Amino acid sequence: MTTDGRGRGGGRAFLGMPRARVGGGGRAAGEDRAAGDGRAAGDGRVAGRARAGGEDPAAFPPFPEAARAAVRDERLRANLRHATSTIRDKRARAVGELADWDRLRAAGKAVKDHTLRHLDHYLLQLEEAVTAAGGTVHWAADAAEACRVVTALVRATGEREVVKVKSMATQEIGLDEALEAAGVAAYETDLAELIVQLGRDRPSHILVPAIHRNRAEIRDLFRTEMGRWGRPAPADLDDTPAALAEAARLHLREKFLRAKVGISGANFMVAETGTLVVVESEGNGRMCLTLPETLISVVGIEKVVPTFRDLEIFLQTLPRSSTAERMNPYTTMWTGTTDGDGPSAFHLVLLDNGRTDTLADEVGRQALRCIRCSACLNVCPVYERAGGHAYGSVYPGPIGAVLTPQLRGTDSGIDASLPFASTLCGACYDVCPVAIDIPEVLVHLRERIVQGGPVTRGGVRVRIRPARGHAAERAAVRAARRLLDRPGALRAGERLLARARRLGFRPHRLPGPGRAWTETRDLPGAPAEPFRDWWARERGG
Amino acid sequence: MTTKDRILGRIRRAVGDARPPAAAEGGIARDYLLQHGHRTPAERVDLLAAHLAEYRARVHRADPDGLPALLGRLLAEPGARTVVVPPGLPEWWLSGTDVTRVRDEASTTAHELDRVDSVVTGCALAVAETGTLVLDGSPDQGRRRITLVPDHHVCVVRVPDQVVDSVPQALPLLDPARPLTWISGPSATSDIELDRVEGVHGPRTLDVVLLGPE
């Protein structure tokens, strides 16, 4: 990788990506902490956090800039290396236990593809089943509408605080910020999300969002911040994970016990029965799904599966891919409301927010099969080094690189840079439990960005123009073609280079039009003798 | 146009000729295994016990004669003074203990449950391959909250009858209209440096009693 930025300012590109246009005013690269700390805004908030109505792509620097800062952060690198390698090995063992893994994977893919093909049908069936079971279904076309719906539902209860289960969809739409703006305190209750929320930070991993924080940082955060949100951490809190988990248990318990409104996402929704499924480990999910009087679930429309039986596939593949366990500690399934057990009011908010636009792309739509296991993050050499914040969205890693530019479009610097944040090594495809061919989608999106072409935005078919940033690279390729078409000139150049090498000349970059090419790649060392001279000498050509 | 119509319209344009799935098309190739290995009932129970223990549940075995004494001991060991009891729990299960029983009423608040030390329940079924207990709110299990708020859960599994091999065998036996809770070991987190800590918000101690025939 050539991310060292040797002798260059802001423009060095990353992994084949040309210099990106800087969105949102850019920011100084090379700040001493990881990208996710962002800029301190005037009000003490961290820029780049989600805003009400969804994340603002313009608040994030393009991937190369963010990654350049992240790869210099040795603590972040060490945390990521430890975490991803640990879970990689565990996952391989858990998956290896099932002799029929490939068949489960193929069946999961087939169920999801079938559902997406008939998504309208299954959503209507789901709505009918949820309604029949005592729930109320709402539809939201985008982040702003979803936030409005949820805020109105919370206001109608008269409550000023809600407890939340970790949910990617509500992060995607910036729900916490929308509720805060409406005077409602939203408490994240997953331990890692609590760490992120107390630190006014951003999640950096789908499964373990605080993977970038180590135990000492977490202890300091708990000591200084917990008291501002509720029960303070014990004064003598140490930094063992058990002590930190205990502090979180005590801090959150008072919130669970008094909560009247819970907000969740869902891992699956079953069309035929109206059943929702939340898969979790800590029990905070059960608390939020069971104790409040009102439950509001915000779920992407792609989370529906046709039948209860279909869960037999995903309940085997998701835990093993995600936490590398045979089964996660707790799974809750509920269908509408049940008299005397759990919330007496249940609202399901079905969220589009770019999903139907993604569905319109025949190559890109496979990203909608994702079940958010995060296995692709843990095997990705780019994620392992750059960390999650560099991806500038709630969806980091390889899946984020294909999902985010489709959900948000590619107008911003960060979104246009994401499809290039990959070496195309294919490890993500190998581990994906629903067989999303992420490299295929990455290449497809790169082509779309470089050459332009038709996309669907907000339900409307439009054409995007080729990105200007790629002109220099195209010029480099044209220059190379001219050279390769002229064997005499090529041979002369090769001999000149071999002689220069003997004199100690070791260029890292090409001059002239070749320069754009070598901005993203280290130039290989020149051989002592051109191959064609060697061939002629050895084989008597 | 409502948002619902707009979203459905976008979907139909995105996938081309939208139409309901034909019956034949529902034919997803389900050539995966319905169970991973063939086991005798005793082997199935042993596998359940091993997998529960691996995820830090404490596993015990008893026959009906020994159950009251075992439950008495499991409640006495952590010093439980109160135990919440679902409405349909067999009376004789707790005949070996004088720990104060708390009936779960509709009016029982979460705060009241938080002051209870333990809970004893049955279960709907157990899955050997994954080390999972499933509760479905039947009278011997009660409302979901009673197995959540107290810090100590004792769950009795009738073996071998209530034990299935696999997840595909479990789902057809469950009624999705009932609230279902799948429990695989006590609550846990690996959120801090991926170091596993047992016991966060759910019961930190899970005792599983495999109740065999006489």
Chain segment A165-200, per-residue pLDDT in tens: 999 999 999 999 999 999 999 999 999 999 999 999
Q: What percent of chain B has pLDDT over 70?
A: 96
Structure tokens at A79: 């945390």
Tell me the C-alpha distance between A211 and A84, whole Å. Answer: 9
Could you give the dihedral angle defined by the CA atoms of residues B183, B187, B188 and B191, in that order, rounded to the nearest 10 degrees? 110
**Are the beta carbons of A312 and B19 separated by less than 8 Å?**
no
Using pLDDT thresholds of 50, 70 and 90, give the confidence band for residue A10.
very low
Q: What pLDDT, on the 0 to 100 scale, is given for residue A6?
A: 34
Distance from CA of B123 to the nearest CA of A (A): 14
Q: What pLDDT, on the 0 to 100 scale, is given for residue A17?
A: 43
Can you name the residues that pair with B153 across neighbouring β-strands?
A: B119, B206
DSSP codes joined into one string, A280-313: ESSSHHHHHHHSSSEEEEEEEGGGEES-GGGHHH
Using pLDDT thresholds of 50, 70 and 90, give the confidence band for residue A539.
confident
Q: What pLDDT, on the 0 to 100 scale, is given for residue A156?
A: 97
Q: Are B33 and A100 in contact (CB under 8 A)?
A: yes
Q: Say how many CA atoms lie within 13 Å of A267 toward its Cβ.
A: 26
Q: What pLDDT, on the 0 to 100 scale, is given for residue A147?
A: 98
Tell me the C-alpha distance between A71 and A34, whole Å. Answer: 8
Residues of B in contact with A329 (CB under 8 A): 55, 183-188, 202
Report how far Cα B169 is from the mean position of its chain's Cα atoms: 15
B55 part of contact set with chain A, CB < 8 Å? yes
Q: What is the mean pLDDT of residues B113-127?
A: 97
Q: Would you say residue A315 has pLDDT above 90?
A: yes
Domain chopping of chain A, boundaries: 1-46+63-96+374-466, 98-189+260-351, 204-258, 471-539
- Measured in degrees and rounded to the nearest 5, phi and psi for residue A288 equal -70, -30
Domains of chain B, each with CATH number or no CATH: 39-211 (3.40.50.10420)
Kindly report which listed range (A68-72, A360-364, B22-26, B209-213) carries the lowest average pLDDT score: B22-26
Q: Would you say residue A493 has pLDDT above 90?
A: no
Using pLDDT thresholds of 50, 70 and 90, give the confidence band for residue A511.
confident
Q: Write the pLDDT tens digit of every residue in A434-447.
A: 999 999 999 999 99
Q: Would you say residue A20 has pLDDT above 70?
A: no
Using pLDDT thresholds of 50, 70 and 90, give the confidence band for residue A43.
very low
Q: Would you say residue A154 has pLDDT above 50?
A: yes
Q: What is the mean pLDDT of residues B40-48?
A: 98
Could you give the dihedral angle defined by the CA atoms of residues B190, B194, B197 and B201, in that order, rounded to the nearest 10 degrees? -20
**Are the beta carbons of B188 and A244 separated by less than 8 Å?**
no
- The sign of the dihedral angle between the CA atoms of A228, A230, A236, A241 is negative
Kindly report which listed range (A118-132, A227-241, A394-408, A485-499) carries the lowest average pLDDT score: A485-499
Report how far Cα A135 is from the mean position of its chain's Cα atoms: 30
Kindly report which listed range (A211-215, A220-224, A474-478, A524-528) carries the lowest average pLDDT score: A474-478
Q: What is the mean pLDDT of residues A206-224?
A: 90
Tell me the C-alpha distance between A50 and A108, whole Å. Answer: 32
Nearest by CB to residue B143, choosing from A192, A281, A341, is: A341
Q: Are A346 and A127 in contact (CB under 8 A)?
A: no
Q: Would you say residue A137 has pLDDT above 60?
A: yes
pLDDT higher at A38 or A48 = A48
Q: Say how many CA atoms lie within 13 Å of B18 toward its Cβ.
A: 18
Q: Would you say residue A37 has pLDDT above 80?
A: no
Q: What pLDDT, on the 0 to 100 scale, is given for residue A234?
A: 93
Kindly report which listed range (A517-531, B100-114, B157-171) carries the lowest average pLDDT score: A517-531
Nearest by CB to residue B21, choosing from A121, A244, A283, is: A121
Burial class (CB in 10 A: 0-12, 13-18, 19+), A251: buried
Distance from CA of B65 to the nearest CA of A (A): 31
Find, in chain A, the residue whose alpha carbon is nearest to that of B180.
A333
Q: What is the mean pLDDT of residues A465-478?
A: 72
Looking at every residue in chain A, the average pLDDT score rounds to: 87
Q: SS3 of A104, please?
A: helix
Q: Write the pLDDT tens digit of every residue in B62-86.
A: 999 999 999 999 999 999 999 999 9
H or E, element range at B53 = helix B41-54
Report the complex ipTM. 0.97
Q: What pLDDT, on the 0 to 100 scale, is given for residue B23?
A: 58
Of B192, B209, B197, B142, the C-alpha closest to A283 is B197
Distance from CA of A253 to the nearest CA of B (A): 8
Residue among A115, A119, A207, A352 with most chain B CBs within 10 A, to mutate: A119
Cα angle value A467/A473/A479 (rounded, 5°): 140
Nearest by CB to residue B7, choosing from A323, A332, A356, is: A356
Find, in chain B, the residue whose alpha carbon is nearest to that of A209.
B191
**Are the beta carbons of A106 and B29 separated by less than 8 Å?**
yes
Q: What pLDDT, on the 0 to 100 scale, is given for residue A208?
A: 85
Q: SS3 of A317, please?
A: helix
Can you name the residues that pair with B190 across neighbouring β-strands?
A: none
Tell me the C-alpha distance between B86 and B84, whole Å. Answer: 7
Residues of A in contact with B114 (CB under 8 A): 253, 257
Q: Are B212 and B63 in contact (CB under 8 A)?
A: yes
Q: What pLDDT, on the 0 to 100 scale, is given for residue B24?
A: 52
Options 3.20.80.10, 3.40.50.10420, 3.40.50.150, 3.30.300.30; CATH for A98-189+260-351 is 3.40.50.10420
B144 part of contact set with chain A, CB < 8 Å? yes
Nearest by CB to residue A340, choosing from B31, B55, B106, is: B106
Find, in chain A, the residue whose alpha carbon is nearest to that of B177.
A335
Q: Are B206 and B181 in contact (CB under 8 A)?
A: no
**Are the beta carbons of B192 and A328 separated by less than 8 Å?**
no
Scan for tokens 């979907």, then name that residue: B11
Using pLDDT thresholds of 50, 70 and 90, give the confidence band for residue A497.
confident
Local structure of residue A54 (DSSP, 8 states): B
**Are the beta carbons of B179 and A326 separated by less than 8 Å?**
no
Using pLDDT thresholds of 50, 70 and 90, give the confidence band for residue A36.
very low
Looking at every residue in chain B, the average pLDDT score rounds to: 93
Q: What pLDDT, on the 0 to 100 scale, is given for residue A489?
A: 84
**Are the beta carbons of A145 and B197 separated by less than 8 Å?**
no
Q: Would you say residue A29 has pLDDT above 60?
A: no
Using pLDDT thresholds of 50, 70 and 90, give the confidence band for residue A425.
very high
Residue among A326, A344, A374, A455 with most chain B CBs within 10 A, to mutate: A326
- The sign of the dihedral angle between the CA atoms of B181, B186, B192, B193 is negative
Of B108, B138, B111, B109, the C-alpha closest to B123 is B138
Q: What pLDDT, on the 0 to 100 scale, is given for residue A21?
A: 35
Kindly report which listed range (A59-68, A165-174, B46-55, B165-174) carries the lowest average pLDDT score: A59-68
Q: Write the pLDDT tens digit of every residue in A46-58.
A: 334 456 567 788 8
**Are the beta carbons of A330 and B187 separated by less than 8 Å?**
yes
